[in-house]
């Protein structure tokens, strides 16, 4: 394979490179924004009774696995809890 040298000044080569990268980024952004327009994120803040916390965690794990596998449109579903207060749980669900 032969590499051809161009007679374009360094400035123009850099300009073409930057313009090409901008066009690529714009096309990727449009694709991502079109997908994001149809998505919804639901958030629920919960405070779980400390005596029921372990059974809640087991039920939540089963619910997350089932929802992602069975429910149409559920992209992600996960829960987090506060580090210093694990009975304070936030559940996030991303749907389309």
Give the start-to-end residue ranges of the domains of the chain.
9-37, 39-95
Return the pLDDT at 34.
47
* Phi–psi pair at 73, nearest 5 degrees: 90, -10
- Residue 7 has what pLDDT? 58
* pLDDT given at position 17: 59
Instruction: Return the pLDDT at 91.
Output: 93
What are the backbone angles phi and psi of residue 33, rounded to the nearest 5°? -70, -30
Architecture of domain 39-95: 2-Layer Sandwich (3.30)
Mention every residue, 6+ apart, whose C-beta is less than 8 A from residue 50: 87
pTM (two decimals): 0.59
Total length of the chain: 96
pLDDT tens string, the chain, 96 residues long: the values are 555 555 556 655 555 555 556 455 555 554 455 455 688 899 999 999 999 999 999 999 999 999 989 999 899 999 999 999 999 999 999 988
Residue 28 burial (C-beta neighbours within 10 Å; 0-12, 13-18, 19+)? exposed
């Amino acid at each position: 394979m032969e590499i051809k040298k161009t007679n374009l000044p360094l400035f123009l080569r850099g300009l073409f490179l930057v313009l090409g990268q901008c066009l690529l980024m714009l096309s990727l952004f449009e694709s991502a924004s079109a997908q994001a327009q149809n998505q919804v994120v639901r958030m629920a803040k919960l405070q779980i009774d400390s005596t029921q916390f372990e059974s809640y965690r087991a039920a939540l794990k089963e619910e997350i696995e089932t929802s992602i596998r069975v429910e149409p449109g559920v992209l992600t579903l996960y829960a987090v809890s506060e580090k210093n207060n694990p009975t304070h749980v936030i559940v996030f669900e991303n749907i389309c």
